[in-house]
Amino acid sequence: MDRVEKRLDATLKIVQTGMKMLVKMEKENSEFRKESREAIHALIESQMRTDAVVSALGMQVAALGAQVTALGTQVTALGTKIDRLVDGFRDGGNGSRGGRR
């Protein structure tokens, strides 16, 4: 009977050790899931901030594009006025189409 009791005690210790290991593993697993969840939420928030910045930059680029287009139109108009002015000097400046006297 003593031998059976020793075996039962040994088996009980093995089961207790296994249970302790399971509890420890579950605690570590729970901590890992919590840390993973926090990291995922941090990544999501970071991505949302990045999207907001990219969107704002896109609007700024569009506004700059419109300004560049407007400047191009102004430069073209200025070029036309300069051409007319130069032509006016070439033609005599007073509209008589005569040269210098």
Short-list 90, 45, 101, 75, CA closest to 37: 45
| CA pseudo-torsion sign 13, 14, 18, 21 | positive
Q: pLDDT per residue over 66-99, tens digit each? A: 999 999 999 999 999 999 999 888 876 555 555 5
Sign of CA dihedral 13, 15, 19, 21: positive
Determine the residue type at 18.
G
- Give the type of residue at 20: K
**Separation between Cα atoms, residue 63 and residue 60, nearest integer Å:** 5
pLDDT at residue 37, rounded to an integer: 97
Is the pTM higher than 0.75? no
